[in-house]
Amino acid sequence: MEHFSRYLEALAGANGIGNNITWLFYPGMLLESRAKWWGDFGKRSCAHEGIDICFFRKGNREITPLAKNANIPAIDKGLILNRCKDFLGESLVISHEGVHSLYPKVVFVYSHLEIEKELVPGCRIEKDQVIARTFDTSKKRSNLLSHLHLSCVELMEEVPLEDLNWNLFPDRGKVNLINPLFV
């Protein structure tokens, strides 16, 4: 959980939120949840494939969502494997060096983003480098707030890089989902 806590600090720093932040997660934002955290708070059609990062509280103030177009830094240095569409914006699939050395089949998927144009498969990224911004969900008339969806995916078999996308990630026969909190 240390890596994830450090990442949340980097996310706050990249957006000028400051220190003394408490990040808040509704049950529907968590891995494997079938609950929605938006709209009617009903049920999802399938289990959630990651964790959604959106709400924080600074000190004793009110709960605040991430801003539209919030800066999204990289968790660690690594290599961009693919860039693909998701139902809100785009996703980046990244192999992070620190994780890859221990778990070579594990990739991170950053989703619901507007990605820097120069970031394409094969590009190297640095720890804390801003790689994207949260997608402005009002462009899709969505009742979801702008947020970062973060998945940690273990590939069960060799997969062509162009197939690292949202046709593959929900397929529990081909991937294992790992809670990003514990990587």
- Give the H or E element holding residue 149: strand 148-155
Report how far residue 134's alpha carbon sits from residue 148's, in angstroms, rounded to the nearest whole number. Answer: 6
The single-letter DSSP state of residue 102 is T
How far is C-alpha 144 from the geometric centre of its chain's CA atoms?
A: 15
130 bridge partner residues:
73
pLDDT in the model for residue 63: 95
In the predicted structure, residue 103 carries a pLDDT above the cut 90: no
pLDDT in the model for residue 100: 63
pLDDT digits (tens, 9 = 90+) for 28-37: 999 999 999 9
Which of the four pLDDT bands, split at 50, 70 and 90, describes residue 3?
Answer: confident
> What six digits make up the tokens of 75?
């968790």
Domains of the chain by start residue, with CATH: 2-65 (no CATH), 71-182 (2.70.70)
In the predicted structure, residue 181 carries a pLDDT above the cut 60: yes
Rounded average pLDDT over 15-30: 93
Rounded average pLDDT over 108-132: 96
Which amino acid is it at 23? W
